[in-house]
Chain A
Amino acid sequence: MKVVKHALPSVDGKGLMMGRPAYTDDLADPNSLIVKVLRSPHAYAKIVKIDTSKAEALEGVEIVLTYKDFDRRPHTRAGQGFPEPSPYDKFVLDQWVRYIGDETACVAAVDEKTAEAALKLIEIEWDILEPILDFETALDNEILIHPEPEIFENFPIGFDPKRNLAAAYSMEVGNVEDSLKECDVVLEAQFYTQAQAHAAMEPHTVNARMDYQNRLVLYTSTQAPFHIRRIVSQSLDFPMSRIRVIKPRVGGGFGGKQHIHGELLVSTVTIKTGKPAKMVYTRKEVFESSFQRHPMRLDIKLGAMKDGTLKAINCHILSDTGAYGEHALTVFMVAGAKVLPLYNKVDSVKFYGDVVYTNHTSAGAYRGYGAIQGNFAIESAIDMLCEKLGADPIEFREKNMMLKDETSPIFAIMGEGTEGTAMNMESCELGYCVSRGQELLKWKEKYPRVELADSKVRGVGMAIAMQGSGIPYIDMASATVKLNDDGFYNLLVGATDIGQGSDTVLAQIAAEALETTLDKIIVYSSDSDLTPFDTGAYASSTTYVSGNAVFKAAMDMKRAIVKEGALALGVKFEDIEYDGVVLKAGDKEITLKALSNRLYYSEDQKQLMITNSYFGTKSPPPFMAGFAEVEIDTETGEIKIVEYVSVVDCGTPINLSLAKGQVEGGIVQGIGMAVYEEVLYTKKGKSINNNFLNYHIPTRKEINKLTTEFAESYEESGPFGAKSVGEIGIDTPPAAIANAVYNAVGVRIQTLPITPEKILAGILANKAKK
């Protein structure tokens, strides 16, 4: 392949580094009203009285909005396909506020200072209610977080607000209880995972204007522009035909930007005033008032035979969705659906649990989407089970894990909010990933630990993981290929580049299919008026789902070119030989350039422009093995990640350096979750670490050595053999690092993050036992 499977520079990196205006706020109308939101100071309260008269009277204030300005139209901000598997439990503004940072009122003014001053003039009389801040007490608590009658589920998701339940689910293959009774060894363990902030560098931002056709034009930093258009129309009762959503360059998403943020309030301001308006979240708002990873409690039971055969898995999860139920059911289900099939040879497996409301910031979509939580629990428990069995953790995995051409019954049972889709693993190089990773880390020399001088100990640990490639039978993507005079192409895609490089990857797929070079493919993405539909950048779907749409459209275009070439040369279609540059039939030939100019200027004139689309009927999982080497200071508990080795099967990596970037970016975000990051609250539900000084994402000083390789793998159903690679990287670090810490110092951390305090406490407790 000439373009695919090469490390080509991204199509946009240069212009962005050179500072060319490209992001949402760079494109705001300079005369935009500044929209600011009054955020709730209470974790749970009802507005008894709200007086905005003083704010409205302030010079420069254009409009003040409260719940009184909106019809009570429940919706979800989840940004999923329609109908969403998330409860409709949110109002644009409501008389009730359900977490500290919730939207209470909104001001639009000529400048930021005036808007801020106006917020302070809004007078509110509150009825302060008792909140629920411990998710383990939420279910059937006498306090109800969503007592309002209007809210509903689109289809059964286990939604029961009278029990503070946003969603619930259970499934069982075989009979776990019976299987466990037959097992020689049973391991029971409980794990906790924490809320993690997305922390994309670009804060959430949106701006709106009415255009010369009196249509609402939104520029917004989003992962799902077509869903945004639909939800704005739905929740504001504004005709969809009068909304255009443009997604400019996005400064990182990681799931956070799949949701609605300021779009509804900014649109309302512009619709009501006719004036351009914009909102840029402060970093405090990004932390407190957007979304975060669902915290979970995971109870695992594993049963195995002495010969090292895993027989049964029992997995119960309690998940905290916070104040609203965005992605409540689906994140929780993925914690099982994209972890449990790794061990496909068990007799029985049970997965069940509840997703509860609390008065914390809403949880939502976040790279890994449940799989990282499930992976931490299962892959830690596997190592704990191996210790009980006296088995080698790698040999145990090799004996019990998913291999090529195999399947798991879970694929057919568990989808994302619905039933799943049966599939065989046409591509699965997990075995290679595990063996190559050992070589790269020099596992055999280092396992389980190496003692260094000065109270330092190094340990190694590993974990395996899988993800998916889009949501089968739901995610649809489309692409339009347009031939221009002079013989270059436009590629129009709904697919959403959020920094992961999809514009580049999709252009590479088009270039390979059209047998041309990358510079001949001009990509334009994510404009609801100009590009065809795409569900958006989430669920690891873009390379596989959108890539397949691009491949189909490009192949259609190639056939159309040959057809026109046959007409121009006066020969039959099947007589044409075409290499992407010249069309030949015997001694007759015409270049694509000449043919294009003929089509647009001289004979048989017509526009060649072809659209095709794709929706997956399966979701081939990428797989990986992650290996961590950690160094622990046994006197302080300090932990250093010495090296992280990743060996990934994502089918064909379309762009070698961008695919590596997805893996390494995921690994470091996963290292953040494993050892550094945790959203913390006071006892009253106020965020403690709502800035980068107190919420510690990894800096370049903590990252020592990342070793990343790809397995040779080819997925028949993917474009040029590709599967997805956007999320898989984040899944393994929590478990691999927890296992490495245990192997280094004998301390088993079951509550993330793995902090020096917890490690040291474990070391001291072990010493006391001796």
Chain B
Amino acid sequence: MKVNVKVNGQNKVFNIEPGDYLLDTLRKENYLSVKKGCDNSSCGVCTVLFDGKPIKSCSLLTAKIEGHEVITVEGIQKEADKLSDYFGAEGADQCGYCTPGMALSVYALKEENSNPSDEEIKEYLTGNLCRCTGYQSQHIAIRNYLEDK
């Protein structure tokens, strides 16, 4: 079947099987920033923005995105570039596998709430797991980015 969708501002037509998941479709279409981690929406490395909201692409059927807009890190390069400077300053990136998904969640948080509290940041990003950093350096980097320090 064919699915019409806007990805990173461009209109696309994806040729898919009905049971395909968005993560697999995006990777097949060369959006390689979207990572596979857990298969059941529990780790966050496959995060993309679906009509502006962060969702886990491993658990969304591609057929359901007909007529919607999807954003991957390839579509927010300027923001990811800027956020990565804050991550770099804190040594908060380590293996980097979770960071594209994290960048999208942080971007969406900023759009929704430009002045979140520490607890709101943690709550919003809970679904983006990281096994490397222990989180505190990431938290400082994200707060500094949001405060644009």
Contact = CB atoms under 8 A, between A and B. Distances in A.
Highest count of chain A CB atoms <10 Å: which of B72, B81, B92, B131: B131
Interface in A6-26: 7, 9-10, 12-14, 16-23, 25-26
A183 B125 CA distance: 54
Given A17-B99, A700-B138, A706-B136, A499 B43 contact: no
B95 A692 contact: no
Given A283-B37, A657-B90, A199 B131 contact: yes
A668 interface: yes
A199 B97 CA distance: 13
Interface residues of A, number: 61
Given A201-B98, A697-B129, A10 B37 contact: no
A433 B7 CA distance: 52
A254 interface: yes
Interface in B29-53: 31-40, 42-43, 45
B14 to A, nearest CB: 15
Highest count of chain A CB atoms <10 Å: which of B93, B132, B138: B132
Contacts of B80: 17-19
B31 to A, nearest CB: 8
A10 B93 CA distance: 8
A32 to B, nearest CB: 12
Highest count of chain A CB atoms <10 Å: which of B73, B77, B80, B136: B136
A703 B74 contact: no
A538 to B, nearest CB: 16
Contact of A201 (B27, B93, B129, B135): B129
A693 B132 CA distance: 19
Interface in B104-118: none
A672 to B, nearest CB: 9
B89 interface: yes
A19 B134 CA distance: 22
Given A17-B83, A201-B95, 14 more contacts: A7-B89, A12-B96, A13-B88, A17-B102, A200-B97, A202-B95, A249-B95, A500-B95, A501-B94, A656-B91, A657-B90, A668-B134, A699-B135, A703-B134
Given A14-B84, A699-B126, A251 B96 contact: yes
A622 interface: no
A563 to B, nearest CB: 37
Interface in A464-515: 498-501
Nearest to B104: A19
9 contacts: A7-B91, A12-B93, A12-B96, A13-B87, A16-B96, A19-B74, A252-B97, A691-B42, A692-B43
A444 interface: no
A419 B6 CA distance: 63
A698 B43 CA distance: 11
A643 to B, nearest CB: 11
B131 A661 contact: no
Nearest to A254: B131
Chain B interface main SS type: loop
Given A203-B37, A691-B42, A693-B42, A703 B135 contact: yes
A655 B85 CA distance: 16
B144 interface: no
Contact of B32 (A19, A113, A203, A280): A19
Give 7 nearest A-B pairs by CB, closest first.
A19-B33, A499-B95, A9-B88, A657-B91, A16-B96, A251-B97, A13-B93
B142 to A, nearest CB: 10
Highest count of chain B CB atoms <10 Å: which of A22, A254, A283: A283
A735 B17 CA distance: 52
Contacts of B125: 700
Interface of B: 17, 19, 24, 27-28, 31-40, 42-43, 45, 72-74, 77, 80-81, 83-85, 87-100, 102-103, 122-123, 125-126, 129-139
A540 interface: no
A247 to B, nearest CB: 13
Given A250-B95, A283-B40, A665-B134, A13 B84 contact: yes
A254 B123 CA distance: 27
B35 A202 contact: yes
Given A254-B131, A282-B39, A701-B126, A10 B88 contact: yes
A667 B137 CA distance: 13
A701 B133 contact: no
B95 A252 contact: yes
B89 to A, nearest CB: 6
A13 B129 contact: no
Contacts of B129: 201, 692, 697, 699
Contacts of B137: 657, 660-661, 664
B93 A500 contact: no
